[in-house]
């Protein structure tokens, strides 16, 4: 694998991973493809905002109060566990034990023992049928429980810390943001952002201006975020520092159609909707995005459009569609303001894992920041047809008002101007009779008003601008999780030798596209290696040379594990005849041709212009023997 725990030689701090050279290239390639698929193709506005964020921003967004997980403490050791994970681990272990006791082949709980060493041990104990049903129902809606409900589950089902078999205490909230302090005086608390989204919202006005005041549009940001997870485990699936890619698509709340929806209408998805889950089941259905939106399963076109685009992106980088589903959030799981939310879940050795979220967050985010700062985050839209309304409007004789009422003039004006239409009509009637009396809000003072100071008139108003707070559709990608599941989906072993691993990454994301393998590091191959290397660079194809001191077969095997899709070999025939062989990673098939032909073919392969079958039509098979005179 290309990833490893950071600082592991120093201290047992989990959840922080470094990416080595192939891992960081793979990540860079996934990001480049993401940028192309979303930012470039959809003309999104890219942002780069700060990670360190003054505390008031997250107070307003609600993160200080609510961005927290429920944790429980082992009553004896003080070990801290995430409450929902405890429930999941113990119940799954009991169900596995039950299956074993019933003589059914219990699917092994984990495929990789190292990754799940903390999973509860299962013992072959048969459970009553109704208990099995109850456990399964709990697991199906695990994300739906509140903290006190999780505590109740622990008591009712006697769920204990599987490591110690001790009881656990009541669930408590633990805020997941890393806190720090900005500046030398310690006056300004700050947090590391747990998502990039707030950075988008704070810049909304400038983005809107940059987009010439028009909606819909989207901002996009790729960057690091931080969550102080209670129990980071399972490789890259739950870490404390991770790279995200987030889109905030701003849309008119009265029109959530999408201009390009017709392009994705027929994309077929595997859906797990909220009703199925709330009924304690996990049955998925296959459906086109068009059908899901038409039937109201997915709330609107724009949300459906992004769900489909997420699906296309994941397939493009190599995720197995058979192990990908979209799960809708249940009522309690979703924030109260959200309209709808779908997670792209990818199956891996630990089960189904949320890798992308796609939510319609309504007007929540822009509204809370507007309220806090007094700076309105709104769209002002010129109306094609102005809206005409009639309204009673108070008109003052300012001179008479000041002269008659002196220092009270301001209060009197305020009282009248805060009246609604009905009150104004009443006032108008009284004034038409000659005078009226108004009273201060505390009832302590009264003033008599006459038509000399005040008249009320019915006026026709034309509203040519509509002002509204846009709604936000937010696709949010956890790139580390995607990368990790992609590695799992891509890895397999050769039939003839299980020790020989292959990583079938698509060329678009593979760290190295072409491996150049000279027969040996002997100087006579140097000019050819340089030529091929430079020609590939000019064609925009990233290659590496492996001239290490082992057999060609071993060098290929090593690079199969790194996911390099193509290899070219330079040998004595190359020096004499200027030929080169081309090898495909998955089939190990080899072809031969002139150096320039092979470079042209491999370039087309890397950029996805041709398939391997088409390449085979252009280059004859290599039989392992080259003529050398």
Among 241, 246, 273, 488, binds a second copy (CB under 8 A): 241
- CA distance from start to end of the chain: 44
- Site for a second copy contains 373 (CB under 8 A): yes
- Location of structure tokens 């996911």: 563
For residue 545, the surrounding DSSP H or E stretch is: strand 543-545
Site for a second copy in 397-426 (CB under 8 A): none
Site for a second copy in 8-27 (CB under 8 A): 9-11, 13, 15-21, 23-25, 27
How many CB atoms are closer than 10 A to CB 148? 11
The answer to whether the beta carbons of residues 351 and 367 sit under 8 Å apart is no
Site for a second copy in 316-355 (CB under 8 A): none
CB of 89 to a second copy, least distance (A): 17
Among 6, 284, 367, 381, binds a second copy (CB under 8 A): 6
- Location of structure tokens 């609107």: 300
Among 447, 491, 542, 607, binds a second copy (CB under 8 A): 542
93 vs 162: CA distance, rounded Å: 10
CB of 129 to a second copy, least distance (A): 38
Specify the stretch interacting with a second copy by CB under 8 A; choose among 42-50, 94-102, 244-252, 307-315: 42-50
The CA angle 352-354-358, to the nearest 5 degrees, is: 140
Specify the stretch interacting with a second copy by CB under 8 A; choose among 7-15, 256-264, 343-351, 432-440: 7-15
Could you write out the three-class secondary structure of 94-116?
HHHHHHHHCCCCCCCCCCCCCCC
- Which C-beta is closer to a second copy: that of 312 or that of 373? 373
Among 33, 37, 42, 51, binds a second copy (CB under 8 A): 51
- Which C-beta is closer to a second copy: that of 23 or that of 97? 23
CA 474 to chain centre: 8
Specify the stretch interacting with a second copy by CB under 8 A; choose among 52-60, 84-92, 160-168, 403-411: 52-60
Among 391, 398, 537, 578, binds a second copy (CB under 8 A): 537
222 vs 162: CA distance, rounded Å: 38
The answer to whether the beta carbons of residues 98 and 105 sit under 8 Å apart is no
Residues for the chain: how many in total? 629
Q: Tokens in use for 333?
A: 């799981």
CB of 184 to a second copy, least distance (A): 5
- Which C-beta is closer to a second copy: that of 10 or that of 322? 10
- Which C-beta is closer to a second copy: that of 54 or that of 321? 54
Name the phi and psi angles at 575, rounded to 5. -65, -40
Q: In what order do the strands lie in the sheet with 566-570?
A: 543-545, 514-518, 566-570, 579-584, 590-594
- Which C-beta is closer to a second copy: that of 190 or that of 357? 190
Nearest to 135 by CA among 166, 183, 97, 187: 97
How many CB atoms are closer than 10 A to CB 188? 12
- Which C-beta is closer to a second copy: that of 53 or that of 328? 53
Residue 122 DSSP class: P
Specify the stretch interacting with a second copy by CB under 8 A; choose among 90-98, 369-377, 458-466, 619-627: 369-377
Specify the stretch interacting with a second copy by CB under 8 A; choose among 46-54, 297-305, 327-335, 387-395: 46-54
Site for a second copy in 213-232 (CB under 8 A): 219, 223-224, 226, 228, 230
Site for a second copy in 177-206 (CB under 8 A): 178-185, 188, 190, 192, 199, 202-203, 206
In a 3-state reduction of DSSP, which class is residue 78?
coil
The number of residues that bind a second copy (CB under 8 A) is 71
Name the phi and psi angles at 548, rounded to 5. -70, 170
- Which C-beta is closer to a second copy: that of 76 or that of 113? 76
Site for a second copy in 57-116 (CB under 8 A): 57, 60, 71, 78, 80
- Which C-beta is closer to a second copy: that of 196 or that of 300? 196
112-135 b/e (C-beta count within 10 Å ≥ 16 → b)? eeebbeebbebeeeebeeeebebb
The answer to whether the beta carbons of residues 110 and 164 sit under 8 Å apart is no
Q: Strand 188-192 to strand 52-54: parallel, antiparallel, or no bridges (unpaired)? A: antiparallel
The answer to whether the beta carbons of residues 221 and 47 sit under 8 Å apart is yes
Among 29, 30, 53, 298, binds a second copy (CB under 8 A): 53
For helices 21-34 and 479-490, the axis angle rounded to 10 degrees is 110
Specify the stretch interacting with a second copy by CB under 8 A; choose among 38-46, 117-125, 161-169, 411-419: 38-46
- Which C-beta is closer to a second copy: that of 204 or that of 622? 204
71 vs 143: CA distance, rounded Å: 14
Name the phi and psi angles at 326, rounded to 5. -110, 120
Nearest to 360 by CA among 342, 381, 382: 342
CB of 335 to a second copy, least distance (A): 22
Among 127, 207, 285, 415, binds a second copy (CB under 8 A): 207
Site for a second copy in 259-318 (CB under 8 A): none
For residue 174, the surrounding DSSP H or E stretch is: strand 172-175
- Site for a second copy contains 554 (CB under 8 A): no
CB of 483 to a second copy, least distance (A): 11
- Which C-beta is closer to a second copy: that of 321 or that of 540? 540
- Location of structure tokens 């691993």: 501
- Which C-beta is closer to a second copy: that of 25 or that of 350? 25
- Which C-beta is closer to a second copy: that of 299 or that of 378? 378
Site for a second copy in 447-476 (CB under 8 A): none
Site for a second copy in 374-393 (CB under 8 A): 375
- Which C-beta is closer to a second copy: that of 40 or that of 388? 40
């Amino acid at each position: 694998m290309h990833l490893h725990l950071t600082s592991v030689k120093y201290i047992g701090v989990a959840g922080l991973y470094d990416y080595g050279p192939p891992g960081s290239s793979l990540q860079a390639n996934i990001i480049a493809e993401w940028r192309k698929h979303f930012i470039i193709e959809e003309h999104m506005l890219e942002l780069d905002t700060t990670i360190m964020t003054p505390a008031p921003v997250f107070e307003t967004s609600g993160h200080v109060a609510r961005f927290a997980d429920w944790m429980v403490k082992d009553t004896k050791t003080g070990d801290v566990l995430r409450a929902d994970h405890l429930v999941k681990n113990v119940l799954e272990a009991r169900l596995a034990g039950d299956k074993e006791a019933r003589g059914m082949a219990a699917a092994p709980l984990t495929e990789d023992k190292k990754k799940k060493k903390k999973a509860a041990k299962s013992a072959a104990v048969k459970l009553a049928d109704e208990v099995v049903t109850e456990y399964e129902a709990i697991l199906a809606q695990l994300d739906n429980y509140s903290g006190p409900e999780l505590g109740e589950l622990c008591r009712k089902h006697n769920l204990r810390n599987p490591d110690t078999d001790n009881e656990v205490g009541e669930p408590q909230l633990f805020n997941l943001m890393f806190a720090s302090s900005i500046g030398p005086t310690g006056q300004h608390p700050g947090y590391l952002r747990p998502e990039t989204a707030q950075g988008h919202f704070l810049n909304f006005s400038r983005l809107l201006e940059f987009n010439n005041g028009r909606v819909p549009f989207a901002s996009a940001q790729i960057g690091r975020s931080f969550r102080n997870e209670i129990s980071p485990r399972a490789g890259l699936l739950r870490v404390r520092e991770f790279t995200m890619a987030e889109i905030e698509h701003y849309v008119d709340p009265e029109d959530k159609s999408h201009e390009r929806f017709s392009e994705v209408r027929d994309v077929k998805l595997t859906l797990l909707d909220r009703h199925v889950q709330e009924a304690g089941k996990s049955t998925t259905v296959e459906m086109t995005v068009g059908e899901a939106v038409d039937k109201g399963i997915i709330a609107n076109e724009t949300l459906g459009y992004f769900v489909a685009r997420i699906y296309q992106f994941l397939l493009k980088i190599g995720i197995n569609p058979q192990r990908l589903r979209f799960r809708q959030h249940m009522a309690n799981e979703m924030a109260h303001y959200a309209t709808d939310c779908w997670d792209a879940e990818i199956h891996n050795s630990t089960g189904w894992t949320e890798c992308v979220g796609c939510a319609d967050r309504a007007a929540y985010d822009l509204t809370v920041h507007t309220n806090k700062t007094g700076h309105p985050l709104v769209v002002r839209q010129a109306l094609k047809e102005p809206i005409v309304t009639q309204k009673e409007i108070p008109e003052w004789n300012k001179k008479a008002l000041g002269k008659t009422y002196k220092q009270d003039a301001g209060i009197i004006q305020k009282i009248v101007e805060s009246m609604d239409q009905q009150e104004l009509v009443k006032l108008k009637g009284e004034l038409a009779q000659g005078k009226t009396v108004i009273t201060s809000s505390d009832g302590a003072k009264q003033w008599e008003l006459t038509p000399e100071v005040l008249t009320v008139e019915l006026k026709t108003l034309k509203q040519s601008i509509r002002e509204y707070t846009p709604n936000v559709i937010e696709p949010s990608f956890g790139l580390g999780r995607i990368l990790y599941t992609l590695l799992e989906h891509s890895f397999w072993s050769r039939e003839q030798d299980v020790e020989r691993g292959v990583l079938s990454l698509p060329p678009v994301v593979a760290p190295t596209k072409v491996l150049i393998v000279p027969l040996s590091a002997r100087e006579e191959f140097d000019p050819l290696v340089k030529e091929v290397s430079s020609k590939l660079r000019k064609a925009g194809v990233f290659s590496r040379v492996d001239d290490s001191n082992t057999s060609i077969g071993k060098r290929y095997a090593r690079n199969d594990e790194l996911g390099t899709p193509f290899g070219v070999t330079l040998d004595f025939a190359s020096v004499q005849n200027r030929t080169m062989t081309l090898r495909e990673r998955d089939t190990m098939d080899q072809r031969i041709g002139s150096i320039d032909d092979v470079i042209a073919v491999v370039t087309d392969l890397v950029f996805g212009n041709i398939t391997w079958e088409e390449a085979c039509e252009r280059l004859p098979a290599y039989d392992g023997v080259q003529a050398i005179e």
